[in-house]
A and B are shown apart, each in its own frame.
Chain A
Amino acid sequence: MTVLEVQNVKKIYTTRNGGNQVEALKDVNFSVETGEFVAIMGESGSGKTTLLNILAALDKPTGGRVRLNGQDLSQVKDKEMAAFRRENLGFVFQDFNLLDTFSLEDNIYLPLVLAGQKHVVMAKRLWPIAQELGITSLLKKYPYEVSGGQKQRAAVARALITKPQIILADEPTGALDSKASDELMRIFGQINQEGQTILMVTHSVKAASHAGRVLFIKDGEVFHQIYRGNQSDEEMYQKISASLTVLMTGGEQ
């Protein structure tokens, strides 16, 4: 079943004083099936972040359509948008975006509290997630008391607790050291194994090599994609590296 459908998405930014138009996305087409783990790679300025913002409904495309579970994002009313995102999308950011005022536990609860859930329900949901992510002993701590990797795991828990249709991750390993990055990717692989759909934007070949499919974006279009098939992480790594080299040298393949 298709969770996410991106059709002919186009984004043009107009500078404030009218004159210049910048085409961030030209014509993006792809879809994500339930249970997939997709990585999107591309150079800075290739339009990755713009694309993710559009998928997250934080930004609107100039043309084309984005469908989540068949629901056209442009049809969701502004008033309902926050609730829609809360219920259907989970976010993991590069800089964690945890609130210093809350303990990790409360940070994880935040989307559920905003949705008006009872504490008993929330606590029940948190327990298995916290165990899987190995943060049960950290729940009472505050973001400034734990390491980057631990913060990111809490952020993942916050994304998972709403049981979203899809998790959107923006450079999740960007602020982590290599050990914490590996650990996070292992977790992503594991929750994906359990059926969670993940879409991740990344610079890191290592991170992308954990995905089931890698899309390459260049000049506002999907330029190339790699399927894992039965390959190991190492083989994926090699393949991604090769593709990136081609991408950067101009694509004369």
Chain B
Amino acid sequence: MRMEFEENIDAKSGRPGEEYNMHAHRFNLGFYMKLAATNLYKNGKAYIPYLLTCIFTILMYYVMGAIARNEGLQEMRGAETMRSVMQVAMIITGIFATIFLLYTNSILIKQRKKELGLYHVLGLDKGNLARMLAWESVYTAVVSLVAGILGGIVLGKLMFLVLLKMIQIPVPLAFSIEMSAVVESVELFVGIFFLSFLWNVWQVGRTNPIELLHGSQEGEREPKTKLLATAIGILTLGFGYYIAQVTDNPLSAVSNVFFAVILVIIGTYAIFMAGSIALLKCLKKWKNYYYQTKHFTNVAGMLYRMKQNAVGLANICIMSCAVLSLISVTLSLYLGAEDILQTRYPRDYTGYVYQAEEERVELEQQIVKEEAERAGVEIANRVSCHIGSITTLRDENHLLGELDDSQPNLDSIYGVYVIPIEDYNKAEGKSESLETDEVLLYLPEGSFSQETLWIGETEWKVKEKLETFSLEKMSEGMGLKMIWLVMDSKDTIASLAAQYGRLWSDSFFYKDTFDLVGDAKARESAWQSISQRLSGELGNVSSYWQEERRESYYISNGGYLFVGVFVGTLFLVGMVLIIYYKQISEGYDDKARYQIMKKVGMNRREIKSTIHSQVLTLFFLPLGMAILHIAFAFRMFGQVLKAFSLSNTMLEFYCTAGTAAVFTLFYIGVFFLTSREYYRIVR
């Protein structure tokens, strides 16, 4: 192939006569195809890493897409949240892939300007060059898409098997080929390759042949301080951090996560690209600092390098964040399963009787009593009450002020739980009484300063604001902010719930919780028959057994942990590849520079320590930034966890800190490996 190509060129440029007249536009299709293939082959040293990067990015994107659509995952508890998290992750990966691949391509085409200039001089006009470049893009796209998606399928299956084995969680997950994920990956990456192609054509089009010939010799300019970009970086980053700090509602957390993440990504890129240069320039102006042996070459070297590598460093930072957040959140979720369980199902048995009319509740009591006696177990720690549940907006002392479906402010959504005075008295051991227009009010978080409360158009007198409330545990712990009200009768509550309940879960129901004491088998059979009789004789009930719930929690939360570890590992592998490739290619760049310094009088030890501190800074800049991001995201992750009924800040902290520590250790390992390689090259 190569020989034929060279003959072609000879025919064009060398010999006058018939062949010489063969004008450029008459080259046939095969010519461009061969030429493009030869180019890629000859530029292998630069192209293979690029191709590998493309393949890996596609692989990553496809695998994420496939997981988001995984059937096993769809059936899990909280699948909705999980799916939106995965969707956020995919969008982030998409943005990331676009920036990264376009950037890599632009460096590649810059290096190749000389070669393209040569073709131009030899007789290919710009149109011909564009056709050649088009074929190159087609090859790159086809090879990397096929390899990426096939690799994604194979690697996905493999990692599923290995990881599932490793975590030892009985997760009902299997990795399958998702056609829609394939289509989505192809669409995105064909788009990216097309943009790259347009960029290349534009680059070739706007430069004249002489410039093309000299293209790669163009000296590196010293980077300019970009104040605007720095400011944008600081602002977006600050705003992202701010959002993460003020999000105190689990429902809005997921959508805010998305916004904050986008802002922080933009901020990270801007800070690395512009802010770091501004900082280094300041250091350079500080003469007593700059002109010191250990800072001199480092500051100048980094300033020079920052421009080339800011994007690479930002990528590493963002990938680190992805790894850290995915693993720490899913780990918290897994380790917190017991916590969640205790919040939602504090007793052995938790049952709901909907449409809590007198006779239905009595029948429930009777069934529970009969079956417990028959199985020979005792009922203990029984807590039960009637609850009217209304999910609504709160505006100070107005509930249901103006609830329209258009744009609820998620922060003002409250879960209002209303219980009758008799249940309250029974639980607290009191004998309070209420008039028909009076309520007792309990607010777990925040304060209530008014004396009256409006529900819709009705005004209620707040007879007392309660300090403690033992029935608090009867809430569902869905992460909503709560208001507890005590009213005079069940009828009042039932009619309120019927009138104002908006969500499917809003109704007037009877919640019964208790432990069963006795032989394990007997307890199990008692629960089985209670549950059977309730649904058979009563209908419109639901009942849960803690043991059974525990198992299902560990399965679904184990599934999340699995997804977190899986995607985290994927990002980690990508990150290590980027770091390694970056260090090695820089090593070849820096080799000549260190030779000069040696000649001017730098000894081996000084060179080694300079390299060490430079690589160290470049390595730990993104890690430090990533850890800072995670620290600011901590609160928001807490809110996301609340959406899964987990609110255990200490646990979350240990999981996050532990993940960060392990990650840092791993990172240090990669650092030593690559800096050793780097030193071997420049030595």
In Å, the complex CA distance between A10 and B596 comes to 27
- Residues of B close to A113: CB separation below 8 A: 291-293, 296
- Residues of A close to B288: CB separation below 8 A: 118-119
In Å, the complex CA distance between A158 and B297 comes to 16
Does A81 lie at the interface of the complex (its beta carbon under 8 Å from any beta carbon of B)? yes
CB 8 Å contact bits of A189-233 with B (1 = contact, 0 = none): 000000000000000000000000000000000000000000000
Report yes or no: A91 in contact with B600, Cβ–Cβ below 8 A: yes
Q: Are A97 and B596 CB-contacts (below 8 A) given A109-B291, A113-B293? A: yes
Report yes or no: A144 in contact with B220, Cβ–Cβ below 8 A: yes
In Å, the complex CA distance between A97 and B597 comes to 9
Tell me the smallest distance from the CB of A120 to a CB of chain B, in Å.
9
Give the number of residues in A that approach B within 8 Å (Cβ atoms).
33
Contact among A82, A119, A144 for B287, CB-based, below 8 A = A119
Report yes or no: B296 in contact with A99, Cβ–Cβ below 8 A: no
Tell me the smallest distance from the CB of A157 to a CB of chain B, in Å.
13
Q: Which of B221, B291, B599 has the most CB of A within 10 A?
A: B291
Report yes or no: B300 in contact with A82, Cβ–Cβ below 8 A: no
Does B194 lie at the interface of the complex (its beta carbon under 8 Å from any beta carbon of A)? no
- Residues of A close to B221: CB separation below 8 A: 142
Does B303 lie at the interface of the complex (its beta carbon under 8 Å from any beta carbon of A)? yes
Does B603 lie at the interface of the complex (its beta carbon under 8 Å from any beta carbon of A)? yes
**CB nearest neighbor in B for A87:** B601
CB 8 Å contact bits of A123-158 with B (1 = contact, 0 = none): 000000000000000000011110000000000001
- Residues of A close to B602: CB separation below 8 A: 82, 114
- Residues of B close to A237: CB separation below 8 A: none
Report yes or no: B293 in contact with A145, Cβ–Cβ below 8 A: no
B residues 379-405 touching A (CB-CB < 8 Å): none
Report yes or no: B596 in contact with A111, Cβ–Cβ below 8 A: no
**CB nearest neighbor in A for B607:** A82
Q: Are A101 and B293 CB-contacts (below 8 A) given A82-B606, A93-B599, A114-B600? A: no
- Residues of A close to B287: CB separation below 8 A: 119
Report yes or no: A116 in contact with B301, Cβ–Cβ below 8 A: no
- Residues of B close to A109: CB separation below 8 A: 291, 296
Report yes or no: B219 in contact with A101, Cβ–Cβ below 8 A: no
Report yes or no: A99 in contact with B596, Cβ–Cβ below 8 A: yes
In Å, the complex CA distance between A102 and B221 comes to 11
Report yes or no: B600 in contact with A83, Cβ–Cβ below 8 A: no
Query: Chain B interface mostly helix, strand, loop or mixed?
Result: helix
- Residues of A close to B599: CB separation below 8 A: 58, 91, 93, 97
Report yes or no: A114 in contact with B291, Cβ–Cβ below 8 A: no
B residues 563-603 touching A (CB-CB < 8 Å): 593, 596-597, 599-603
Report yes or no: A81 in contact with B603, Cβ–Cβ below 8 A: yes
Report yes or no: A110 in contact with B304, Cβ–Cβ below 8 A: no
In Å, the complex CA distance between A79 and B603 comes to 8
Report yes or no: B293 in contact with A116, Cβ–Cβ below 8 A: yes
Query: Chain A interface mostly helix, strand, loop or mixed?
Result: helix
CB 8 Å contact bits of A89-125 with B (1 = contact, 0 = none): 0010100011111110010011101111111001000
Report yes or no: A114 in contact with B606, Cβ–Cβ below 8 A: yes
Report yes or no: A101 in contact with B600, Cβ–Cβ below 8 A: no
Contact among A110, A118, A142, A145 for B600, CB-based, below 8 A = A110
- Residues of B close to A163: CB separation below 8 A: none
Does B222 lie at the interface of the complex (its beta carbon under 8 Å from any beta carbon of A)? yes
- Residues of A close to B603: CB separation below 8 A: 79, 81-83
Q: Are A83 and B220 CB-contacts (below 8 A) given A101-B301, A101-B304, A116-B293? A: no
**CB nearest neighbor in B for A85:** B601
Q: Which of A101, A106, A114, A122 has the most CB of B within 10 A?
A: A101
Report yes or no: A97 in contact with B300, Cβ–Cβ below 8 A: no
CB 8 Å contact bits of B252-294 with A (1 = contact, 0 = none): 0000000000000000000000000000000000011011110
A residues 72-90 touching B (CB-CB < 8 Å): 79, 81-83, 85-86
- Residues of B close to A103: CB separation below 8 A: 222
Report yes or no: A119 in contact with B291, Cβ–Cβ below 8 A: yes
- Residues of A close to B593: CB separation below 8 A: 99-101
**CB nearest neighbor in B for A56:** B599
In Å, the complex CA distance between A111 and B297 comes to 11
- Residues of A close to B304: CB separation below 8 A: 100-101
In Å, the complex CA distance between A142 and B221 comes to 8
B residues 217-250 touching A (CB-CB < 8 Å): 219-222
Q: Are A99 and B291 CB-contacts (below 8 A) given A82-B602, A142-B219? A: no
Report yes or no: A102 in contact with B219, Cβ–Cβ below 8 A: no
In Å, the complex CA distance between A85 and B599 comes to 9
In Å, the complex CA distance between A218 and B221 comes to 45
Q: Are A144 and B219 CB-contacts (below 8 A) given A81-B603, A113-B292? A: yes
In Å, the complex CA distance between A102 and B601 comes to 16
Report yes or no: B601 in contact with A101, Cβ–Cβ below 8 A: no
In Å, the complex CA distance between A195 and B118 comes to 50
Report yes or no: B600 in contact with A100, Cβ–Cβ below 8 A: no
Tell me the smallest distance from the CB of A230 to a CB of chain B, in Å.
37
In Å, the complex CA distance between A111 and B602 comes to 8
**CB nearest neighbor in A for B605:** A79
Q: Are A122 and B291 CB-contacts (below 8 A) given A101-B300, A101-B303, A113-B296? A: yes
- Minimum-distance CB pairs A-B, first 10: A144-B219, A86-B601, A82-B603, A101-B304, A119-B291, A101-B300, A97-B596, A119-B287, A113-B296, A85-B601
List B residues at the A interface (Cβ < 8 Å): 219-222, 287-288, 290-293, 296-297, 300-301, 303-304, 593, 596-597, 599-606
